[in-house]
Amino acid sequence: MMDVAKLARRIHEQVIHWRRALHEIPEFIFDLHKTSQFARGRLAEMGIESKVIAKTGIVAVIEGVEQGRTIALRADMDAIALREETGLPYTSTHDGYMHACGHDAHTAMVLGAAKILSENRSHFKGNVKLLLQPAEEHQGGARQMIEEGCMENPKVDVILGLHVGPLFEQVGTGVIGIHHGTIMASIDTFFVKVLGRGGHSAMPHQSVDPITTASAMIGGLQTIVSRELNPSHPAVVTIGSIKGGTSPHIIPEVVKFGGTVRTVHKNDRTYIEKRIKEVCKSIAGANRAEVEIDYRNYYPTTVNNREFTRFFLKSVEKVVGKENIVELDEPHMGGDDVAYFLERVPGNYFVLGSNNPNKGIIYPNHHPKFNIDEDVLWIGPAVFAQAAFDFLNSGFERLA
């Protein structure tokens, strides 16, 4: 029997090298030209042909010894707009952008899995499809890749993806976190513009104050979750920005604020959108103001197929052992556009713990000092490759 973990450890230093090279060239949304070129170059060195879709996304197929099913391995490649403060020798060379969410590691680990699988094509039947996507952090690159046919020719049967970082406290360094069901929330964003009538702050009766109106709206929105939803349903309404006014002595004409909504249950998502609009409109009317609401539905919930997850769990055990697996009970209220892939086919999105307090690697994703313990980078390629071998060569057929 092939020792996939041993194969992954052999290429560990190479995966670290790839991750560091990618870390130096963070790029934003769909403008991943250097990143895409780097990844395609490494695939070419492995003898794997690739093509570009969704502007800078990559699709590649590793064919096995005979025809069969297809498993997809997905990695997101984009960075975020943040100035890096890690002081690493391979720090970002693109000022104002940083791989602060670990997508450099995701890409490097899928490349590592590709190397293992491409060198062992004779040990599996069917296909491994590599999906390296742009724009996870903004605009939903996964959806555009799907629209451009990444799930076809050959048709994908199941999909795997992973995320590094301290997303779940109980998932320690080098530990795999797996959830049976919804692992991440849906994401919506809303923008509210309150239109009043400006004037002198000493004569408020001659004005319509958009600041007090906006304040009442913000307070009202906070009670939707606390007083209108089932307390056992995870949900978040957070106001993240508010802008208005130029002087303590002037009542402004306009106040703007924006927020995010995170839900796990589909009915809650619909209900909160409806209530945000109703609350803001009612409070505006009560305060003689007008309001404009721009509500945007972004990513759906990330839902792991339960039956496939039970199958996948056995592959993970072969790599890290039962003692290094945590089965998660609750979802993370963050979101990920891998959800679009998982709406199309069964699969699993799992977590690899990469913080290490003993090394001072303690910062959360999206922090300017975020980093990962590179000692865990062999685990992702090993899990991906082991699951691919097991799925393509097994008799596992039924996916609920």
Residue type, 321: G
Q: Which of 51, 46, 48 is nearest to 62 (CA)?
A: 48
Residue that terminates a domain, selected from 281, 297, 313: 297
> Per-residue pLDDT for 400 more than 50?
no
**334 and 352 share one domain:** yes
Average pLDDT in the 99-107 region? 98
Percent of the chain with pLDDT over 70: 98
Residue type, 387: A
pLDDT digits (tens, 9 = 90+) for 262-316: 999 999 999 999 999 999 999 999 999 999 999 999 999 999 999 999 999 999 9
Phi-psi region of 57 (alpha: psi -120 to 50; beta: other; left: phi over 0): beta
| Cis-peptide into 368, omega within 30 deg | no
CB atoms near residue 326 (< 10 Å): 16
Q: Does residue 352 belong to any structural domain of this protein?
A: yes
> Per-residue pLDDT for 35 more than 70?
yes
> Per-residue pLDDT for 397 more than 90?
no
Q: Does residue 399 belong to any structural domain of this protein?
A: no
CA distances from 238 to 127, 214, 258, 328 (A): 43, 14, 9, 24
Is the CB of residue 263 less than 8 Å from the CB of residue 274?
A: no
Mean pLDDT of the chain: 97
Say if strands 235-244 and 199-200 run parallel, antiparallel, or are unpaired: unpaired
Six-digit token pair at 390?
A: 């097991």
Mapping DSSP to helix (H, G, I), strand (E, B) and coil, where does residue 156 land?
Answer: coil
Q: Does residue 398 belong to any structural domain of this protein?
A: no
pLDDT digits (tens, 9 = 90+) for 202-225: 999 999 999 999 999 999 999 999
Number of structural domains the chain divides into: 2
DSSP assignment of 291-305 equals EEEEEEE----EE--
pLDDT at 394: 86
Domain that holds residue 142: 4-184+301-393
Q: Which of 166, 195, 175 is nearest to 357 (CA)?
A: 166
pLDDT digits (tens, 9 = 90+) for 220-250: 999 999 999 999 999 999 999 999 999 999 9
d(CA 257, CA 244): 9
Per-residue burial over 272-288, b if 16 or more Cβ lie within 10 Å, else e, is: bbebbeebbeebbeebe
> Per-residue pLDDT for 155 more than 50?
yes
User: DSSP secondary-structure letter at 363?
Assistant: P
Say if strands 176-179 and 325-328 run parallel, antiparallel, or are unpaired: parallel
**326 and 387 share one domain:** yes
90: buried, middle or exposed (CB in 10 Å: 19+, 13-18, 0-12)? Answer: middle
CB atoms near residue 382 (< 10 Å): 28
**18 and 123 share one domain:** yes
Per the DSSP assignment, residues forming a β-bridge with 244 are 255
Q: Which of 183, 27, 26, 11 is nearest to 110 (CA)?
A: 11
Looking at residue 114, which CATH number applies to its domain?
3.40.630.10
pLDDT at 399: 52
298 is catalytic: no
d(CA 252, CA 190): 22
Is the CB of residue 302 less than 8 Å from the CB of residue 338?
A: yes
> Per-residue pLDDT for 398 more than 80?
no
Residue that terminates a domain, selected from 251, 281, 297: 297
Is the CB of residue 136 less than 8 Å from the CB of residue 29?
A: no
Please tell me which residue in 97, 299, 340, 349 is annotated as part of the active site: 299
Average pLDDT in the 102-124 region? 98
- pLDDT tier at 15 (50, 70, 90 boundaries)? very high
Q: Which of 19, 24, 28, 26 is nearest to 134 (CA)?
A: 28
**142 and 222 share one domain:** no
CA distances from 187 to 7, 233, 292 (A): 38, 15, 21
Q: Which of 87, 100, 82, 80 is nearest to 28 (CA)?
A: 80
Residue that terminates a domain, selected from 271, 297, 323: 297
Q: Does residue 400 belong to any structural domain of this protein?
A: no
Tell whether pTM > 0.85: yes
Looking at residue 252, which CATH number applies to its domain?
3.30.70.360
pLDDT at 298: 94
d(CA 179, CA 182): 7
299 is catalytic: yes
**234 and 307 share one domain:** no
**176 and 206 share one domain:** no
Average pLDDT in the 148-171 region? 98
pLDDT at 396: 64
pLDDT at 319: 98
pLDDT digits (tens, 9 = 90+) for 53-65: 999 999 999 999 9
Residue found by looking up tokens 């670290």 in the block: 16
Average pLDDT in the 166-184 region? 97
pLDDT at 395: 64
